[in-house]
Each structure stands twice: as structure tokens, then as C-alpha cells.
């Protein structure tokens, strides 16, 4: 891969694209049900959209500012070439999925393949359901003509026509209404569909009576995803985020997708329209060419094909296990022992959401503090915070308003919590608060007691069902005392100004002022153990490894004899050397039904293992530009749970391994770590009993 620095370092953008290939492989995996294959195709579409929204403009600016033969230009060329190859594979897999859908009676039809009767019926439906909502916007070769706004990620049709046979070409743009289904049912068939653009293209002449329509071509514009917000602490951040979010759809374009047969002059005019639009608002346009697409634009639509649900075409419904019996109290169970849960196999809603809902109505609970990053709507947790504040409890929420693409939800919940009487801080100037932590204070018979929850995932029920994450529930003083310090800093309780937490002194590590240095010290300590002949081993599970300092430290530890196993879902800039033994240094990536999202850090520590869980990946932004939190796991049962987790993922028979050449190779087995956990849940749900004191559901040992 490009960008070696030193030779074991891989390029982060190319590594991210390699992750998209692993997701795409699920769409072509015959073991994956067909409806799920189609959903994975849509996920890849969304991920590529996000790559353009967040990274491509910066890469292009770097190429423009540097020499034509410089490294920035070379990197951009390789990235764009890799994207083109990925998109070709994307459509090839989509085509195979469409052929598989035909075996189940669902065909995606073209207009020309329809009978006269079917075309007539669709013309009537078009005139009734769609034509009244269409508005024509002129795109012209004449300077000074008002420009249409080409929508972000919307589908538009460029119509080429002439007023008369000898007049000049004109171009009009029609935005496809967002409330109209992308796929229309074909009349007189059981389940055939036709893309809406086919219907519009075939009937566009009805909207232009008396002119000569030559052709019509679908296109799609992707705009940058950044928010332009001043970091001045004196500004009204809530209002600034609201305004910036409303203006995001007007950001400059970063990509234009067109159908393969779109004429060059049509593509050029679309690009010129975008350029003049950007110049008119004093913005920079970085896209200079169109991206020609084989087949359908925006493959997310395939997830809505009318295939029969259930059966073998989609994953079986899954319900995570309930760890604390519904008749028991969550806080009482946590008081008896730490709980380390693995979502979604341990139900998120029946643990994390339930904790907040019980605390909201518990008369003995006096205070709730929480960090909210991606809340979602609806949100049982945010609604519980509103109820708690309304009942007179002290509620503090750090709501990160700049959680990318979730700003609007977060703004709405921040206002709701404030209206209910809670106190809200909207983030810190220059830093995103990415930590996932909560603190609950309760008056009990023997005095005040503090409870904590720290996790790797967001306080979001939807992601709690779709992502794998770990959660620690504890009343251990080493963590709860640290969280008091943590929330005191975020709330400004001590200085009057919200600020990033100072280094913690108990069982917590925080970024940006402590975490990086502490992890580096632990990695160095592991190398010292190995050199001295003591057990030296590092097992990390995370979403991304993109920090060069961390990667180099791990490389050095492996060179010292430490057994290093890294389970990295996405970006990984570190590759093994060809001299590494398979078991001495392994880098593994798992892709499956659930998005791998848990962060677990284990150090062997000479035979006295240390375990940490929390919110942080090993990326520069996590370690240097965000507020992150890891906490140490002491409980022996919880440590065994984490050991099992790390072992299962390291040995996942379907995982991908990163080799010294920078390429990923998939193992040839059939059973994944996610499969094993799902089987455990199925077994446990039929073999449980209730502990009479704690309310914990106990598992009957397997014979």
C-alpha cells in the first residue's frame, strides 16, 4: 500500500477502502441471506458516500497545493483508482444479487421490457402520483441565468431538449421527490419492480409538450459533510450548530455520479453549474470530473426489493439475553457485583436503557450524570433523563452537539432536557466529547452510594441492537470516584467553566491529557517483561489503529518478543513484517451481521493481566483531540468474559488476516465469533435460573 512511513505503515484511506471490500464480501457470501446481502450493498454505498463527504476534498486540496508529481498527487491518484475498482466490484456483486432475486420471482425491469398494458398503467400512476410534484429547473449555457440547487445525495434527472430542430440544446434538471418510492411495482406481475427514473425518463415528453426531448440522464451529487463552526467559547454553540447543520446541504460538491451513457457535454454543464454555485457563495469546489456508474445509482434502494421476508432470506430475529431479571432492581444487582455485558448478545435495552429508566423513577436516586454522543430518536435513555429532571432529580448531560450527522437529534434532546430542568453542557471548545459514561447517585440505608456505567458504544438503542459493544456496570470506588472528577470537569463544577478532565488517579484513563501516555507506558512495560523472560502479551480489540506513535510502539513491542494480537475492524496502518510468526504478531478484522464496535485493551503484565474497556480507538483524534475514557476491569468474572471475547475473535474462523504485503486474506472456516455468541444466547435462554439475592440470571452449566 502507498504511504509507507516506515515500511510497516499503511495508508489510512486505502486501509479504509480495504474495510469496504470486506463489507462488500458479505454481499457476495452465499452464507449470508439474500436480503442481508442487499443491505450490505447499501452499507457500502453509504460508507463510500461518507468517504467523499469527509476525506476526498482534503485529499484533493493537498494534491492541488503540491507539485503535480508530488506525494499528495500520487496518493490522490491511487485512492481514486482504488475507489473506481471498488465501485466496479460493488456493481458486479449487486448484479449477482439481482440475478439471485430473480430466482425468488423479483425482477428489476426496464421500460422497454414492459407490455403496452403495463406501460399505460404506469403512465397513469406517474401522472397521478409524481408529475404534480416535479419542478423543472433550467441549467443553461448562458451566463447569469439563475442556477438550480443540486441536492445533496438526491437523485436528479438531466433532460436534454431543443425548442425546435434547428435551435440550440437546452438542459433542465428535475429532482426526484424524496417521498416517492425508488422502486415502483410493475402492474400485472407478482413482484416485479421498475426504478422510478425509468418511469420518469419514459414519460418526460409529457412535461415538455411542443419541444424535442433528446435524452434524459440520472445523476447524483455528494456534498461535503463538514460543519463550519467557530470554536470561540463565547459563541452560542447550540445556535451555531443549528445554523451550521441547516447550511450543510449547501456545502460544495465533492462528487458527481452519472449514468455510464451520459454525454460529456451534459456532465460538463452539471460541473459548471456546481462551480458557479460555489463561487457565488465564496466556497471552493474540489470536484473536477464526474464518476461514471454502471447500473443503478445509489444501491441503497435494493434493500427495499419486495422479496419475501423471513425464512432463509434474512437473519433470524435475535433477542439478547436478560442478565438481571425484570423483577429485580438493576442498581441492587450492580451493588452486589460488577457486571460486564457484551451487546447485543446481552440485551442493551434490558440493561443500559433499563438502568436509566429505573433510576429516573427511583425515589432514592438524587443525581444522574451522563455523556451523550449519538442519542438517536426515539431514545428511551434521553426520555428517561427528561423524566428524571421533571421529577426534581439533579440531571447533568454533556451533549456533544458536533457528533457528525447526528447534530439535529442531539440539539433537540439537549433542549428537551433543559426544558425539563436538567443542566446541559454542549461540548467543549476545540474538543469533541466521545466518552461513554454515566454516574448515578442514590441515598441508601447505609448512606450515599454511587453507581457507574462505562461502555464502548453510544447511549443509543438502535446501535445497541446493531453493534457489538461492551458495558461495565459497577459501584467500585476506584471508578465512581474518578467519574465524579470526570463529570466535575465537564460540568465546570470546580472552576465555573466546563473543561477537559485532568488525569484521573483511580481506575480511569482520560484523553487528551492522560490516555495516550498511559497506553504507551503499558506497551513499553510489556516489552520490558518480554526482554526479562516474563510473559509478554498484548491483545487489543478496537475499530481503528491510525496513530503512528501507537503503531510504532506496538511494532517495537513485537520486536522485543511480545505476542501482539490486534483485532481492528477498520483502518489499520500497521502491517506485520514477513519475518513475523503467525502467532507472534497477528492483525485480524472481523466483519459480520453486527458491526464490531467494542474496544478492549488487555496487557499480560508479567502474569498479572490488566483489562481496560471504553470509548477510545487508537487514532490521533481519539488520543489528542477528543475527551475519551477507558476504565480498568478488576472483577474476576468480568475478566474471564473479556478473555473469552478476545480469544473468540482472535480465532474467528471467518475473520480476515492482514499480511505483510498489506492485503487481507479471509480464513476458510464457517463459524464466526458472532455465531458462537448467538448460539450461547440460544442455549442460555432455555437453561436459566434466578439468583435470589442479586436478581442476576444464572446460567445452568453445560454438560
Residues designated catalytic: 434
Report which DSSP code applies to 186: P
Contacts of 205 (CB under 8 A, 6+ apart): 213
Please give the grid coordinates belonging to residue 623. Answer: 488520543
- Region of residue 226 (left: phi > 0; alpha: psi -120 to 50; beta: else): beta
Q: Is 456 exposed, middle or buried (0-12, 13-18, 19+ CB in 10 A)?
A: buried
The residue to which cell 503503531 is assigned: 551
In three-state form (DSSP H/G/I as H, E/B as E, the rest C), the secondary structure along 345-369 is CECCHHHHHHHHHHHHHCCCEEEEE
CA 186 to CA 203: how far, in whole Å?
Answer: 15
Element (DSSP H or E) covering residue 517: helix 515-531
Angle of helix 380-390 versus helix 354-361 axis, rounded to 10? 10
CA 592 to CA 22: how far, in whole Å?
Answer: 9
Contacts of 80 (CB under 8 A, 6+ apart): none
Which phi and psi (to 5°) does residue 117 adopt?
-65, -40
Report which DSSP code applies to 562: -
Is residue 398 a contact partner of residue 370, using CB atoms and an 8 Å limit?
A: yes
Closest CA to 580 of 600, 602, 554, 619: 554
Distances (CA, A) of 373 to 379, 410, 627: 12, 8, 11
Is residue 665 a contact partner of residue 659, using CB atoms and an 8 Å limit?
A: yes
Angle, alpha carbons 233-234-235 (nearest 5°): 95
Bridge partners (DSSP) listed for residue 35? none
Is residue 545 a contact partner of residue 572, using CB atoms and an 8 Å limit?
A: yes
CA 657 to CA 659: how far, in whole Å?
Answer: 6
CA 491 to CA 626: how far, in whole Å?
Answer: 16
CA 63 to CA 76: how far, in whole Å?
Answer: 7
Angle, alpha carbons 38-568-592 (nearest 5°): 25
CA 638 to CA 656: how far, in whole Å?
Answer: 27
Q: Is the peptide bond before 628 cis (omega within 30 degrees of 0)?
A: no
Alpha helices in 364-429 (DSSP H): 380-390, 407-419
CA 119 to CA 208: how far, in whole Å?
Answer: 19
Which phi and psi (to 5°) does residue 124 adopt?
-65, -45
- Using the Cα atoms of residue 56, residue 258, residue 47 and residue 428 in order, give the sign of their dihedral: positive
Contacts of 673 (CB under 8 A, 6+ apart): 590, 592, 645, 648, 649, 651, 652, 655
Is residue 453 a contact partner of residue 472, using CB atoms and an 8 Å limit?
A: yes
CA 11 to CA 26: how far, in whole Å?
Answer: 24
Amino acid at each position: 500500500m502507498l504511504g509507507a512511513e516506515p515500511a510497516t505503515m499503511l495508508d489510512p484511506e486505502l486501509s479504509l477502502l480495504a474495510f469496504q471490500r470486506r463489507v462488500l464480501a458479505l454481499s457476495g457470501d452465499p452464507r449470508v441471506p439474500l436480503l442481508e446481502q442487499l443491505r450490505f450493498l447499501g452499507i457500502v454505498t453509504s460508507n463510500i458516500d461518507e468517504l467523499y463527504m469527509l476525506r476526498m476534498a482534503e485529499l484533493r486540496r493537498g494534491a492541488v497545493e503540491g507539485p503535480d508529481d508530488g506525494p499528495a498527487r500520487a496518493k490522490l491518484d491511487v485512492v481514486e483508482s482504488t475507489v473506481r475498482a471498488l465501485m466496479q466490484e460493488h456493481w458486479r456483486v449487486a448484479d449477482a444479487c439481482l440475478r439471485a432475486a430473480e430466482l425468488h420471482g423479483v425482477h428489476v425491469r426496464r421500460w422497454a421490457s414492459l407490455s403496452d398494458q403495463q406501460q399505460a398503467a404506469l403512465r397513469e400512476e406517474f401522472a397521478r402520483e409524481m408529475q404534480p410534484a416535479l419542478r423543472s429547473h433550467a441549467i443553461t449555457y448562458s451566463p447569469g441565468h439563475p442556477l438550480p440547487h443540486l441536492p445533496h445525495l438526491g437523485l436528479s434527472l438531466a433532460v436534454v431538449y431543443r425548442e425546435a430542430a434547428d435551435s440550440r440544446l437546452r438542459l433542465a434538471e428535475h429532482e426526484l421527490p424524496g417521498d416517492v418510492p425508488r422502486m415502483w411495482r410493475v402492474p400485472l406481475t407478482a413482484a416485479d419492480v421498475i426504478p422510478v427514473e425509468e418511469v420518469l425518463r419514459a414519460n418526460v415528453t409529457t412535461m415538455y409538450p411542443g419541444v424535442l426531448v433528446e435524452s434524459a440522464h440520472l445523476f447524483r451529487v455528494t456534498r461535503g459533510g463538514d460543519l463550519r463552526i467557530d470554536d470561540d467559547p463565547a459563541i452560542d454553540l447550540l445556535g451555531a450548530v443549528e445554523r451550521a447543520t441547516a447550511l450543510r446541504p449547501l456545502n460544495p460538491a465533492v462528487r458527481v455520479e452519472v449514468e455510464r451513457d451520459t454525454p460529456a457535454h451534459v456532465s460538463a454543464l452539471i460541473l459548471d453549474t456546481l462551480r458557479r454555485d460555489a463561487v457565488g457563495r465564496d466556497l471552493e469546489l474540489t470536484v473536477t470530473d464526474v464518476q461514471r456508474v454502471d447500473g443503478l445509482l445509489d444501491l441503497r434502494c435494493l434493500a427495499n426489493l419486495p422479496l419475501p421476508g423471513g425464512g432463509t432470506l434474512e437473519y433470524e430475529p435475535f433477542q439478547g439475553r436478560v442478565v438481571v431479571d425484570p423483577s429485580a432492581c438493576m442498581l441492587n444487582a450492580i451493588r452486589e457485583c460488577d457486571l460486564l455485558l457484551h451487546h447485543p448478545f446481552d440485551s442493551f435495552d434490558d440493561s443500559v436503557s433499563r438502568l436509566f429508566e429505573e433510576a429516573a423513577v427511583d425515589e432514592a436516586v438524587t443525581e444522574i450524570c451522563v455523556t451523550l454522543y449519538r442519542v438517536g430518536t426515539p431514545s428511551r435513555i434521553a426520555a428517561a433523563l427528561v423524566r428524571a429532571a421533571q421529577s426534581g432529580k439533579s440531571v447533568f448531560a454533556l451533549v456533544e452537539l458536533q457528533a457528525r450527522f447526528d447534530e439535529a437529534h442531539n440539539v433537540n434532546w439537549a433542549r428537551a432536557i433543559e426544558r425539563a430542568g436538567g443542566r446541559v453542557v454542549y461540548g467543549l471548545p476545540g474538543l469533541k466529547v466521545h466518552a461513554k459514561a454515566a454516574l448515578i447517585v442514590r441515598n441508601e440505608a447505609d448512606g450515599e452510594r454511587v453507581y457507574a456505567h462505562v461502555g464502548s458504544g453510544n447511549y443509543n438503542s438502535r446501535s445497541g441492537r446493531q453493534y457489538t459493544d461492551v458495558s461495565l456496570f459497577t459501584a467500585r470506588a476506584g471508578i465512581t470516584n474518578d467519574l465524579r472528577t470526570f463529570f466535575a470537569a465537564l460540568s465546570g463544577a470546580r472552576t465555573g467553566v466546563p473543561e477537559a478532565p485532568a488525569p484521573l488517579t483511580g481506575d480511569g484513563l482520560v484523553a487528551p491529557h492522560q490516555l495516550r501516555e498511559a497506553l504507551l507506558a503499558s506497551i513499553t512495560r510489556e516489552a520490558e517483561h518480554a526482554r526479562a523472560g516474563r510473559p509478554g502479551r498484548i491483545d487489543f480489540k478496537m475499530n481503528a489503529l491510525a496513530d503512528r506513535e501507537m503503531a510504532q510502539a506496538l511494532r517495537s513491542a513485537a520486536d522485543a518478543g511480545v505476542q501482539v494480537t490486534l483485532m481492528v475492524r477498520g483502518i489499520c496502518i500497521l502491517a506485520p513484517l514477513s519475518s513475523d510468526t503467525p502467532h507472534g504478531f497477528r492483525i485480524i478484522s472481523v466483519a459480520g451481521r453486527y458491526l464490531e464496535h467494542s474496544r478492549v485493551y488487555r496487557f499480560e503484565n508479567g502474569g498479572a493481566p490488566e483489562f481496560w474497556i471504553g470509548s477510545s480507538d487508537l487514532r490521533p483524534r481519539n488520543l489528542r483531540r477528543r475527551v475519551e475514557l477507558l476504565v480498568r476491569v478488576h472483577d474476576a468474572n468480568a475478566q474471564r468474559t473479556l478473555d473469552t471475547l478476545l480469544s473468540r475473535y482472535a480465532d474467528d474462523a471467518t475473520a480476515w488476516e492482514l499480511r505483510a504485503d498489506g492485503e487481507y486474506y479471509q480464513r476458510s472456516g464457517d463459524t464466526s465469533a458472532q455465531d458462537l455468541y448467538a448460539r450461547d444466547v440460544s442455549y442460555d435462554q432455555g437453561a436459566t435460573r434466578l439468583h435470589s439475592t442479586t436478581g442476576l440470571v444464572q446460567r445452568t452449566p453445560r454438560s
